[in-house]
Structure 1
Amino acid sequence: MSKKPLPDFLAREHDERDPSPWLALWLDQSTPLPDAVKTAWLADSSSASRQFLLPFLRPLARTFIILIQVCKVFVPRNWSHSGLLHNVLVWGLKRFVSPEANWLILRHFHLGSQVLGFIGRNSPAPVGTTPLEPADIEALRDHLFLKHDLNLFNFVIRLGEALRAQGLELRKPEHLDLTMLRDPGLRLEDMPHGRLNFLDLQSAIELFTPLYQLLLTDNDFWRAANSLQLDETVGIYCATLLAAPEHLVLVNNKHPLVPLSTLRAGHRLVVHGLSTEMLHALLMRFQAAQAEGGVVHTTSGDATAE
């Protein structure tokens, strides 16, 4: 398979009279992302699909969310077709979604599982997790999108119950266990590269959100949309364990105690994916510091090894 060419913002020379905003974001180091992830993210974000298609798809998708909500008033509350939903999602991902977007979607399951594993293992009341680690798009057929949301809520509930039962609070452990963190090993070149694989991540999510609402119960859809607000919760857990509260600035999916409208679920899902990537990258930095010095301590939020 031929090597994928560089995205335009990296291939063309910098022109000071017409600087590329995408190049500026790629060179900026204020957010912790590996170069490969940042390149894929910005290549997807700067695509023609996102620039020209997304502005039309987003209002249409939100209109469908409203119409489907009205229609579901007249169907049984437990009406659900999760198997059909996941089959359609896999079909759409394989045939129409860009390689970068598919790669980032698959990575998200792995990274989210590792972040929860980090919290569960370093809690003063350890909690087990149920990792979701799809090797390819086909593996998503096993209801993985639905399981992802269920895992998150179940983890928060199990952690809260374990801490309350023992009268404990989450705190920085004497020694951090970072052994669960690793690169997922997924390769961008293994993603579908057909002629129709052009749809960017945000457009794909906007299209899939009404489908998610249509083929799941209202309760499942509402829970999925509001699971995004647990980004702050997971961020607080990690910041507490790392004693690095300033890193919460990277998480901004709104307050978990204030449910938001499902109309913006598509955009917030993209923010959720990026927040997970940055949180995982931050944890990997702590892991690297630990490997160099043996133990990671945090002083004013900085990782140091001794």
Structure 2
Amino acid sequence: MSEPSVWGSILADPTLPFDRPTLRQVVADQRRWSRRWLYPLARVVSRIGVVLILVMKRLMPFAPRLRAHAAMDRMCVWFVRRCVAPESAGLLLRHFVIETNLLNFVVRNAGLPGMPEVTLLPTALRQLGDRAVIEHDLNVYEVLAALGSGVRDRPLWARAASELDYSMLTVPQLDLEPATRRWLRLDIQTALCLMNIPFALCLTPREYRRAVHSLRLDESLLAILATLTGDATFRSWRPAGTLVRVDSAVDVPRAVYEHAVICEQAHAHLLTCQSLAAPIMDLGTWSGRKSVPNPMID
């Protein structure tokens, strides 16, 4: 009897709430040569480079006000198009769509009037240059702020499965430019390490700290999803650390990667909830009866 492989075990694990084609891409991405040989070095270079940049900005009085968003966007797009494997770039592009879907699920199902939906939905690599990175971080803060203002007058309630709107949980066709000539075909984790350096350089310390802290807001997003659906499973994926501690001295590339995995799991679990709710929705339509929502008590 042959010994099971790590990759085969991951792909066969029935408990992983993951879109299966995407999970196969994640496994293939981790098996790239760059993930094995370059990632350990890139991780160290990224940490040292970012620390030096942040220290320099603290010591130079004018540095905290310097920003170069347009340059950061151009570097990001160029690097992803020329140095990252198309399939790996697809995982990055897909994450922007997945997180927007999660936020819009909250917006539509929170039942708070006047909450604007998130419009960030890049479907091509070149669209990452349209302030996508910055907007991606701001969207989470804005949705949570709008919820915080609205729930004072109208607390969030668990809603019946048949009353939840899942219609936004679709992923459009993504243009990964497979025909574009690439100098390298890096995996996504190595790419995140290298991209972290220009992010720290082109953002102000305040912007960089805000971007890093947005990764910890997954805890809030998961709690809201658990409340709206009445499913505590979402809370089990909460990231490590505490939400009220602001700290930019973390392993940012790793935190970004784990953030993307959490979003994928939440998205896949919502689709599972939708499929399980379909028979209930049909029965509710046939009988004409509606469930009465109950408040979630932590």
TM-score range, shorter chain: 0.7 to 0.9
Displacement of 1:186? 2.4
Structure 2: gaps of 5 or more residues: 285-290, 292-298
Q: 1:140, 1:280 → 2: CA distance? A: 21
Q: 1:114 pairs with 101, 104, 123, which one?
A: 101
172-181 or 226-235, larger mean C-alpha shift: 172-181
Q: How does 1:202-281 map to 2 (within 5 A)?
A: 202-281=189-268
User: Counterpart in 1 of 2:288?
Assistant: none
Q: 1:224, 1:261 → 2: CA distance? A: 9
Displacement of 1:292? 4.1
User: Counterpart in 1 of 2:187?
Assistant: 200
Contact 1:253 1:268 in 2 (8 A): no
Displacement of 1:21? 0.5
User: Counterpart in 2 of 1:179?
Assistant: 167
**TM-score for the superposition, normalised by structure 2:** 0.88
Cα 1:106–1:23, aligned 2, differ >3 Å: closer, same or farther? same
Contact 1:33 1:277 in 2 (8 A): yes
| Matching of residue 59 in structure 1 with residue 47 in structure 2 | no
Higher RCO, Cα 8 Å, sep 6+: 2
Aligned CA RMSD, in angstroms, stands at 1.9
**Equivalent position SS for 1:151:** helix
Q: 1:213, 1:79 → 2: CA distance? A: 11
Displacement of 1:246? 2.6
Contact 2:84 2:184 in 1 (8 A): yes
173-182 or 82-91, larger mean C-alpha shift: 173-182
Q: 1:98 pairs with 60, 85, 88, which one?
A: 85
Cα 1:23–1:265, aligned 2, differ >3 Å: closer, same or farther? same
Displacement of 1:285? 1.4
Q: How does 1:278-293 map to 2 (within 5 A)?
A: 278-293=265-280
Q: 1:128, 1:278 → 2: CA distance? A: 25
Q: 1:82 pairs with 51, 64, 69, which one?
A: 69
Q: 2:32, 2:246 → 1: CA distance? A: 32
User: Counterpart in 1 of 2:28?
Assistant: 43
Q: 1:197, 1:43 → 2: CA distance? A: 16
73-82 or 251-260, larger mean C-alpha shift: 251-260
**TM-score for the superposition, normalised by structure 1:** 0.86
Give deviations 1:202-237, integer Å, cap 9, x for gaps. 111111112101001111100000000001110000
User: Counterpart in 2 of 1:169?
Assistant: 155
User: Counterpart in 2 of 1:123?
Assistant: 110
Q: 2:150, 2:116 → 1: CA distance? A: 11
Contact 2:103 2:118 in 1 (8 A): no
Give deviations 1:31-71, integer Å, cap 9, x for gaps. 11121100000100121111111111111110011110111
Instruction: Kindly provide the amino acid, as one letter, of the partner of residue 92 in structure 2.
Output: I
**Equivalent position SS for 1:124:** coil
Instruction: Kindly provide the amino acid, as one letter, of the partner of residue 125 in structure 1.
Output: L
Instruction: Kindly provide the amino acid, as one letter, of the partner of residue 28 in structure 1.
Output: D
Contact 1:90 1:138 in 2 (8 A): yes
191-200 or 211-220, larger mean C-alpha shift: 191-200
Give deviations 1:75-108, integer Å, cap 9, x for gaps. 3422100000000000000001112221111111
278-287 or 177-186, larger mean C-alpha shift: 177-186
**Equivalent position SS for 1:32:** coil
**Equivalent position SS for 1:131:** coil
Contact 1:232 1:254 in 2 (8 A): no
Q: 2:205, 2:179 → 1: CA distance? A: 32
Contact 2:124 2:175 in 1 (8 A): no
Q: 1:95, 1:182 → 2: CA distance? A: 28
Contact 1:134 1:140 in 2 (8 A): yes
User: Counterpart in 2 of 1:9?
Assistant: none
Contact 1:232 1:253 in 2 (8 A): no
Q: 1:195, 1:123 → 2: CA distance? A: 44
Give deviations 1:6-36, integer Å, cap 9, x for gaps. xxxxxxxxx714x320111011121111211
Q: How does 1:119-158 map to 2 (within 5 A)?
A: 119-126=106-113, 127-158=115-146
Cα 1:235–1:294, aligned 2, differ >3 Å: closer, same or farther? same
Cα 1:146–1:253, aligned 2, differ >3 Å: closer, same or farther? farther
